[in-house]
Chains A and B, each alone.
Chain A
Amino acid sequence: MKKKHIVILINILVYIFALLYVLPIIWTIISSFRLEKDLFAYPPKLISEFTLKNYAKVIQTTDMLTYFKNSVIVTVSSTIITIIISLMAGYALAKIKFKSKNFFFTLFLSTLMIPLQVIMISIYFVLARIGWINTYWGLIIPPAATPTGVFLATQYIKSSIPTEVIESAKIDGANELKIFWRIIVPLCQPVIAALAVLSFTWRWNDYIWPLLVVSSPKYMTVQLGLALFSGEHTVQWGSLLAMTTLSMIPVMIVFLAFQKYFVEGITMGSIK
């Protein structure tokens, strides 16, 4: 009997702690549905009427929809490219016996040692030189190549696709390209899902890369837009909170639908 009480007490404490833990996010979401005059009322109010005015305002008076459109274009295309080129490299590094394989595998992995933060200055030169500043190309292509993607694909193909399947297809006269599309890609569904989820989150949430590429509002992504609004002299908190809440939604949907793959990506030790 006494032990049961302790169990209940522990559970209550844990749940109070967990709710306090996510309070900053909840508070942001709740506040986005309150009028700006209620947010800053004096004496402060915790509860006030529910309104969608902030959302209407942010859509009517800002370029928010453009930012969302850009983020969708960038996230989706970059993710598709990441999947294709990671599987391609993964296939070559796992199953094709070529002499320079180890060299390239090490080269790809060694790019992990050069974080973006360290080369952003000289990357800017490259982007400017090839004319990719303020373009979708600049936003989409460079981040699509990721060592983590190549690494995950190589590991998966090496361990889960039997070499015999490939060999027998070769005997039947299939060339490498055919083997890749007809055999490797269909058998790679779990790693495709994991890469899709990881890449979607990375690209949607990314701030540094778009910051380097974009200066024109025409190409700004959601994250840049949020940072831009929050840096203004008089911050319009009502609109900003509505925009923040909206921008959480896509990743949260992906997360809730594909939770399993998030965990898989994590246990592989992938850093953002």
Chain B
Amino acid sequence: MNISKNSRAEMAGIFFILPNLITFTVFVIFPAISGFYLAFTDYSMLRTQSNFIGLENFKTIFSDFSSSSFLRSMLRTFVFTAIFVPVSFFFSLFLSVITTSETVKGKNFLRTLFYWPWILSPVIVALSWKWFLDIDAGFLNIMLEKIGMQPKRWLLEPNLAFFWVTVVNIWYVAGYFMVMFNAALTSIPQEVYDAASIDGANKWQRFWSITFPLLRPTSILVLVLSMIMAIRSFELVYVFTKGGPGNTTMFMVQKVYEVGFQDYKLGLAAAMSVVMFFVLLGLTLIQFRYMRQEE
């Protein structure tokens, strides 16, 4: 009786999770495992047969440090991440302070405006900015010309292109993080501030000594999410600059994509994915632990 009841529950349970289980197995777990195998082969879309070549792909990866190499794209991604994470953190905190401030009128309208970029697709964001920065017809260059300055080739000079790639990515996510900070900021009880005011703290002091420490859980989440986003970033930049000029804005994921689907070296691309996987694993583990903790 008891046994059959248990096995009935087992069957019911598995039945209900089956659609997700099958899809995850076929399209996430199996590819993840087979990716490790592919990484040790010379599989190419240009040939029909492939060989097991041991660590050869990894040797190729770690011996190439030219500007078009995977390692350089990885280094570039880290530089981008190191700028993106702190700037997007403080910038979205700034947006959040504006949109929760008592002084500012029409806060809901402002929140919607700042959040607007995030509901658009990376492709639309990239194209809008590409148009905004267009050499001949972009708003920015038209303005420069109106005030008598030379128009600039915003996306054709390496440093400027990298700068705009960073700006646009921050612009894209800031509204999203702002909403997270808003949720945390509005949940801090007013009494906390009242007590501090009595003690004679000014607004600036109150913010850094009371509000900011209370935002800790949200801050950690924002930092982890933004780090993961930065390291995974691909589509926005791919449409925005195609990784150019030269390779100056080519990040890791784009490199893997191009090696795999444009050079057809799937084995090598799989090996690069494995390297990327371990970089991301550490970061995602932190997120995972954090989510369970908050639960």
Chain A residues packing against B (C-beta within 8 Å): 7, 10-11, 14-15, 18, 21-25, 27-28, 31, 39-40, 42-44, 46, 81, 84-86, 88-89, 91-93, 96-101, 104, 107-115, 117-126, 130, 141-142, 144-145, 147, 150, 155, 176, 180, 201, 204-208, 223, 226-227, 230-231, 237, 240-241, 244, 247-248, 251-252, 255, 259, 262-263, 266-267, 269, 271
Instruction: Name the B residues within 8 Å of A27 (CB-CB).
Output: 128, 131-132, 139
Size of B's binding interface in residues, CB under 8 A: 92
4 further A-B contacts with Cβ under 8 Å, apart from A205-B121, A237-B131, A263-B179, are A81-B19, A107-B24, A107-B29, A176-B15
Contact B132 A24 (CB under 8 A): yes
Contact B16 A89 (CB under 8 A): yes
Instruction: Name the B residues within 8 Å of A108 (CB-CB).
Output: 17, 20, 24
Contact B124 A252 (CB under 8 A): no
**CB-CB nearest in chain A for B110:** A18
Instruction: Name the A residues within 8 Å of B16 (CB-CB).
Output: 88-89, 91-92, 96, 176, 180
Most-contacted residue by chain A among B119, B139, B145 (CB, 10 A):
B119
Contact B114 A248 (CB under 8 A): no
**CB-CB nearest in chain B for A109:** B288
Minimal beta-carbon separation of A271 from chain B (angstroms): 6
B129 in the interface (beta carbon within 8 A):
yes
Instruction: Name the A residues within 8 Å of B269 (CB-CB).
Output: 121
Contact B285 A271 (CB under 8 A): no
Contact B17 A93 (CB under 8 A): yes
Contact A89 B280 (CB under 8 A): no
Contact B121 A123 (CB under 8 A): no
Q: Given A14-B110, A99-B10, A267-B180, A244 and B124 touching (CB < 8 A)? A: yes
Instruction: Name the B residues within 8 Å of A267 (CB-CB).
Output: 179-180, 183
Contact B288 A122 (CB under 8 A): no
Contact A271 B228 (CB under 8 A): yes
Q: Given A104-B21, A113-B285, A227 and B123 touching (CB < 8 A)? A: yes
A241 to B295, CA, bound (A): 43
Q: Which residue of the partner chain, among B12, B32, B104, B127, contacts A176 with CB atoms under 8 Å?
A: B12
Most-contacted residue by chain A among B31, B132, B261, B266 (CB, 10 A):
B31
A126 to B34, CA, bound (A): 10
Contact A104 B17 (CB under 8 A): yes
**CB-CB nearest in chain A for B256:** A121
B147 in the interface (beta carbon within 8 A):
no
Instruction: Name the B residues within 8 Å of A237 (CB-CB).
Output: 131, 134, 137
Minimal beta-carbon separation of B119 from chain A (angstroms): 5
- Can you identify 24 A-B contacts, CB atoms within 8 angstroms? A7-B103, A11-B104, A22-B116, A31-B131, A44-B137, A92-B13, A92-B16, A98-B10, A98-B12, A99-B10, A113-B284, A114-B28, A118-B273, A119-B35, A121-B260, A121-B266, A122-B31, A126-B34, A130-B26, A205-B122, A207-B239, A208-B235, A255-B119, A267-B183
Contact A244 B128 (CB under 8 A): yes
Contact B128 A118 (CB under 8 A): no
Instruction: Name the B residues within 8 Å of A223 (CB-CB).
Output: 121, 123
**CB-CB nearest in chain B for A266:** B179
Instruction: Name the A residues within 8 Å of B295 (CB-CB).
Output: 155
A230 to B114, CA, bound (A): 26
Minimal beta-carbon separation of B31 from chain A (angstroms): 4
A241 to B146, CA, bound (A): 23
Contact A230 B294 (CB under 8 A): no
Contact B23 A92 (CB under 8 A): no
A67 to B291, CA, bound (A): 37
Contact A247 B260 (CB under 8 A): no
Contact B232 A119 (CB under 8 A): no
Q: Which residues between 214 and 239 of chain B lie within 8 Å of chain A, taking CB atoms?
A: 221, 225, 228-229, 232, 234-235, 238-239
A92 to B292, CA, bound (A): 19
Q: Which residues between 227 and 260 of chain B lie within 8 Å of chain A, taking CB atoms?
A: 228-229, 232, 234-235, 238-239, 242, 253, 256-257, 260
Instruction: Name the A residues within 8 Å of B146 (CB-CB).
Output: 44
Contact A39 B137 (CB under 8 A): yes
